[in-house]
Amino acid sequence: MSNNRQTSEGSGGNVPLSIESARNIPIDIHTNVDKSSNTFTNSTFYITGTSISGSNETRIERSITGQNQNRNETPNDTSCLVLKQKLQQLYTNITLPKVAWLDEGCDLSMTEYFVKLHLNQSNESIEINDIFNYVNSKKPLRILIEGQPGFGKTTLATKLAHDWARNEKYIKHFELAFLMPLRELQQSRIDDCILQIGSQCDYQRNDHIIELINIHKEETLFILDGLDEVSLEDRLEIMKVLFKQMYSEVTVIVFCRTGLFQFSKKECTKLFGLLNVRRNFYDKQISILGIQGIKKKREFLNKFIPESTVNNVVQCLLYQFDLFDSPLFLMLLPVILEDDENITELSTKTEFYKKLFNSILKHSCVKRGLDIDDHFDLFQFNTSPDQIQEQIRRFGILSVEKIVNKNLKFESNDLTKEIYEYGLLINHKEIKCFKSTNHYEALHLSILEFASAFSFWMDLKLNQAALTENLLNGAINDFIESQGTSLVMPFVASLMEDDLDQLLLQTQSLTAWFSIDFDLTLKFDSQVQARI
């Protein structure tokens, strides 16, 4: 053994493991960790021990590569450590996706651009560190985090994965964490999604991952983003996870639009075979209230625009800053300011989006050296739309199809490439659960909703509503199914202004709905009266 030891250490060659000589020797297993890169090297295990007689120290080395391991072997703590570090490498580098209007043309660093969001639990403010705190002396295994459009749900989901990868104190007790954008899950199995994440982070033993989760189920975290973006037909497996029919002891955080989660009777029957069961899955419910307070808004704006301009924004919007609790709206203020520093008239969401679309389109054209009138207004036309208006109208029709079908991916084509250049779409570069070609997604769902409303408004103004009547009915049904949280129809009504009766005459579905759902009628009417 001593001769073989010298050969092993000098050349890195394999040494036969002598069971006889190692018998009754205490065995320690050490692994190589490259501290400089925080990566685990699983190419070599060193097995050391001292004989009972104490006269001779015996060192045994055995080289084991991932490719040569027995495929039937049981995963152990070493396997979990390798997977954990692979996932941490993946999530440490996670960024917020870039948008076309940023001059830097780069992804947004999580550490540089993230500002704490205001979180509420039972009408009391909490910090991000409190998310996993016990409820009534019990560990919360299912946590629902809700927020309005643009208030930072996806950003917070990404932040959780990033903090876990960086071993932040409040979340480092989880051995494993998996960030899953539910828009990509569609009809696939949760297990398939997990395995694809393993492939994404280049973990060599995917056949171990599910078993490792089961072994460490109480120390595993699932971060599910976008429950509201999955159709009822596609989300049965997600419901199984949320209602603890699967992975019951895994901690699950799911993000959804405020008030949008509903457990349907059909799902209830499929899961439990009866209806009188608990309709809420969560042990804890948290609301994201965006970026509140002048101080936090200043901190956020300082990341994008000069301090002198921030002071001007604060002065102009001091009495209507509640409209800008949304990080998305705050982030886009620099684009609006570049176009027109007079922002005091932005008193409603509709006015904000009208100004936003005009500013983004003008900004993009100037940046790309394209001709555009200084007085360009997307919402002014004579007998026929110009090229930009027609492009946005076509994009709006495509958007409402995506919303109705709960499929928010945009394939790359001439239209979507142009819309991306305008700054209304982002190039999807976040964590992918499944292999796919590059595609585009909206800067935010509300962007699609306003584009949809624009296309309906234009068709109604041009007396061409018959071309999109089925889509208009689909948007109405989406408003009903979403319990009034979908913004397409309120945006349409707000754009129609004094011509709202023309909208009501175009579809029997809308007038019929007014007569049977009083609560939603009031909600719709209040949104229109306030011009949302």
Q: How many other C-beta atoms can be found within 10 angstroms of the C-beta atom of residue 4?
A: 16
Name 295's bridge partners.
none
Cα gap 161→166, rounded to integer Å:
9
Closest among 491, 486, 408, 507 to 451, alpha carbons compared: 491
pLDDT at 282: 92
Name 184's bridge partners.
none
- Find where tokens 């069961």 sit: 277
| Cα→Cα distances 505→465, 473, 479, 500, 520, Å | 11, 12, 18, 9, 19
Contact 241, 197 (CB under 8 A): no
Contact 34, 41 (CB under 8 A): yes
The pLDDT tens digits of the residues spanning 424-440 come to: 887 755 444 444 456 78
pLDDT at 152: 87
The ranges assigned to domains in the chain are 75-289, 387-530
Using DSSP's 3-state secondary structure scheme, residue 202 falls into: coil
Please state, for a pLDDT cut of 70, what percent of the chain lies above it: 70
55's CB contacts (< 8 A; 6+ apart) are none
pLDDT band with cut points at 50, 70 and 90 for residue 340: low
pLDDT at 124: 93
H helices of 12-64, in order, are 19-22
H helices of 423-532, in order, are 445-461, 469-481, 488-496, 500-506, 508-516, 518-529
Mean pLDDT of the chain: 76
pLDDT band with cut points at 50, 70 and 90 for residue 471: confident
Cα gap 450→345, rounded to integer Å:
19
Tokens of 219: 């120390």
Tokens of 340: 């027109």
Residue positions counted in the chain: 532
| CB half-sphere exposure, 323, CA atoms < 13 A | 23
- Measured distance between the N- and C-terminal CA atoms of the chain, rounded to whole angstroms: 80
Q: One-letter amino acid identity for 322?
A: D
Question: Given a cut of 70, is residue 54 above it in pLDDT?
Answer: no
Of residues 218 and 261, the one with the higher pLDDT is 218
Name 29's bridge partners.
47
Alpha carbon 383 to chain centroid, angstroms:
41
pLDDT at 341: 60
The pLDDT tens digits of the residues spanning 77-131 come to: 788 999 999 999 999 988 876 656 565 545 678 888 888 899 999 889 999 999 9
Please state at what angle helix 469-481 crosses helix 518-529, rounded to 10 degrees. Answer: 110
Cα gap 508→489, rounded to integer Å:
14
Q: How many other C-beta atoms can be found within 10 angstroms of the C-beta atom of residue 101?
A: 21
Any idea what DSSP says for residue 97? P
The bridge status of strand 440-442 relative to strand 57-63 is: unpaired
Of residues 435 and 457, the one with the higher pLDDT is 457
| Cα→Cα distances 484→324, 478, 522, Å | 21, 8, 10
Cα gap 126→286, rounded to integer Å:
9
Question: Given a cut of 80, is residue 452 above it in pLDDT?
Answer: yes
**Exposed / middle / buried, residue 285 (Cβ in 10 Å: 0-12, 13-18, 19+):** middle
pTM: 0.67
Closest among 267, 287, 13, 2 to 144, alpha carbons compared: 287
423's CB contacts (< 8 A; 6+ apart) are 99, 100, 101, 335, 360, 363, 364, 443
112-116, 138-142, 383-387: which has the highest mean pLDDT?
138-142
Q: How many other C-beta atoms can be found within 10 angstroms of the C-beta atom of residue 129?
A: 12
Contact 337, 358 (CB under 8 A): no
In SS3 terms, 210-250 reads as: HHHHHHCHHHEEEEEECHHHCCHHHCHHHHHHHCCCCCCCC
Question: What is the CATH code for 75-289?
Answer: 3.40.50.300
pLDDT at 20: 31
pLDDT at 291: 92
Name 178's bridge partners.
222
pLDDT at 345: 62
pLDDT band with cut points at 50, 70 and 90 for residue 157: very high
pLDDT band with cut points at 50, 70 and 90 for residue 467: low
